[in-house]
Amino acid sequence: MELTASTGMLTCPSSSSQTAKSGIRVRVFSQTLYQHSSTTTTTNKQPQKVFKRMEPSKKRTISCSSSSQIGENGSPLTTSHTHRIGEMKRVTKETNVQVRINLDGSGKSDCNTGIPFLDHMLDQLASHGLFDVHVKATGDTHIDDHHTNEDIALAIGTALLQALGDRKGINRFGDFSAPLDEALVHVVLDLSGRPHLSCDLSIPTQRVGSYDTQLVEHFFQSLVNTSGMTLHIRQLAGKNSHHIIEATFKAFARALRQATEYDLRRQGTVPSSKGVLSRS
């Protein structure tokens, strides 16, 4: 497809348009311009208009394609959107936690929490959310996993809050159902700035490995509290505890990925009728 336009009148179609997706070549031909001036003569004749021919510029060809304008997660490749990274270090008498999360990553996970099953769940968050997740933690696991589980979730929520910044241009809402064999879990979330958790899980056993299954809800409650997220989790089916919990983390990862991706039609505006999304 070729479009012809006058020099100085060229605009490149946005990457959200159908033409930009397929890539177009815009061929620009400069028009022959004439400069107008009025002159008078020494005779009695009326002033005559004189037109001076201006040299045309050379023909230019400009190529535009969406591949150079859209990055991973459907995000525009701009300086402010290329790397949304949050980092948090939380040190108490009970735990020492370091978290780094890149919302525009590729699914890399480097997690060592001292709780093997939680490491496995954080791997799901990274892999299915396409986030780069780095978590290092030590804690009083000789007592139980409660403090470490909680502080990791608090730190992840804070890092997420930092990475989201002013939340301009994002989808804001996420909705995903993930199956794992007989288990099916539905997660809906809103990056509203208002913390709320509704968790309806029925996990049949008290433990998966050494991990206390009561800590699943507590993990998400802690994450919600610091990130300012509204989160609804519903178990639609499931009998195996491992499957139910893993389906929950997978559904959460995909819903969060959906919510943090950019809506190109929004053109960088805040997805709220109030004009602002904040934690407070």
Give the tens place of pLDDT for each residue, 105-149: 999 999 999 999 999 999 999 999 999 999 999 999 999 999 999
For residues 59-78, give the mean pLDDT.
Answer: 38
Q: Quickly state the pLDDT bin for 209 (edges 50, 70, 90).
A: very high
Q: At what angle do helices 215-227 and 241-260 cross, to 10 degrees?
A: 10
**Residue 44 located in a structural domain:** no
**Residue 112 located in a structural domain:** yes
**Residue 12 located in a structural domain:** no
**Residue 19 located in a structural domain:** no
Q: How far is CA 157 from CA 2, 36, 63, 101, 199, in A?
A: 49, 66, 42, 10, 17
For residues 62-80, give the mean pLDDT.
Answer: 39
**Residue 97 located in a structural domain:** yes
**Residue 33 located in a structural domain:** no
Structural domain total, the chain: 1
62 pLDDT more than 60: no
- Position of tokens 């980092």? 87
**Residue 71 located in a structural domain:** no
Its pTM stands at 0.70
Domain harbouring 210, CATH code: 3.30.230.40
Which are the contacts of 150, defined by CB distance < 8 A and separation ≥ 6? 218, 219, 222
265 pLDDT more than 90: no
Query: What confidence tens digit (pLDDT) does each residue in 146-168 have?
Result: 999 999 999 999 999 999 988 88
**Residue 172 located in a structural domain:** yes
Range of the domain at 179: 85-260
34 pLDDT more than 50: no
